[in-house]
Amino acid sequence: AQSVSQHNHHVILSEAASLELGCNYSYGGTVNLFWYVQYPGQHLQLLLKYFSGDPLVKGIKGFEAEFIKSKFSFNLRKPSVQWSDTAEYFCAVNADLSGGYQKVTFGTGTKLQVIP
């Protein structure tokens, strides 16, 4: 079964600091990987996704993530955070099982608080 671990539950940064949120998944086969973001009072939105090809993927709002297959990781990064990045971030995995890609499994989320 696929599972996702997000080790940072709550991160507090000052504006302009760099961000890296950890994500590890547990499935040895082919996977699709996602980061979703939930801003306060809003619904979940797709930030970026990895399907294949270049392991460094770029998403909206200056976010990027790197897929490292050997480490089963898909960490999210941003060089300089803004107060508007305050939100909860969810890593998610979708495994290519015998019948193709099925459901997405989410991590428990990381709450990011950016202090002006």
Partner 1 sequence: DTGVSQDPRHKITKRGQNVTFRCDPISEHNRLYWYRQTLGQGPEFLTYFQNEAQLEKSRLLSDRFSAERPKGSFSTLEIQRTEQGDSAMYLCASSQRTGRHDYGYTFGSGTRLTVV
**For 88, what's the count of Cα atoms within 13 Å in the CB-facing half-sphere?**
13
Q: Give the closest residue to 25 by CA, choosing from 8, 1, 46, 45.
A: 1
CA 6 vs CA 3, 16, 48, 88, 113: distances in Å: 10, 23, 16, 12, 16
Among 21, 24, 34, 87, binds partner 1 (CB under 8 A): 34
Query: Which of the residues 55 through 74 are near partner 1 (CB under 8 A)?
Result: none
Q: Which is nearer to partner 1, 21 or 92 (CB)?
A: 92
Q: Which is nearer to partner 1, 21 or 109 (CB)?
A: 109
Rounded to whole angstroms, the Cα distance separating 71 from 30 reads 14
Query: Which of the residues 83 through 112 are near partner 1 (CB under 8 A)?
Result: 90, 92, 94, 96, 100-109
Among 14, 45, 80, 84, binds partner 1 (CB under 8 A): 45
- 88, 8 Cβ separation under 8 angstroms: no
Binding interface with partner 1 (CB under 8 A): 4, 6, 32, 34, 36, 42-46, 49, 51, 90, 92, 94, 96, 100-109
